[in-house]
Amino acid sequence: MYIKIVTTEKKITKNLVNQMKYAGRAELRDGECLGYMRNTVKGARDAMLIEHVSEYYVCPMGFQKSLNHVYRKALKGHGVFEVQFDTPGACNAWWEAYQKALTSEGAKLQIYI
């Protein structure tokens, strides 16, 4: 698979993916999920590749929701990664955007790197 980065086309590599920023709520909500990668992003078994306004982001998969934070298990049983939110409303807004990206057609396509 190839992606276009600011008028240059590059083959997607593990090194390039690990330099990408993590997707926030706006990128998850308004972006397009291009597929998921396995064992590519450091600290996550599976991660989605998101395109938003000609920029590319990654978002680990496997989050679960609590009252005002989301969490996922770390690899090899090394604890839990948590994302804290100020209010339950902010947590709900992020969770809805995450679920939208996770249930899109692109999230079912595996990208082999």
Tens digit of each residue's pLDDT (9 = 90 or more) over 27-83: 999 999 999 999 998 888 899 999 998 899 999 998 999 888 898 887 776 778 888
* Band of residue 6 on the pLDDT scale cut at 50, 70, 90: low
pLDDT for 5 beyond 70: no
What is the average per-residue pLDDT within 101-110?
90
Tell me how crowded residue 49 is: count the other CB atoms within 10 A of its CB.
Answer: 28
Residue 7: the pLDDT is 56
* Integer Cα distance of 102 and 110 in angstroms: 13
pLDDT for 8 beyond 70: no
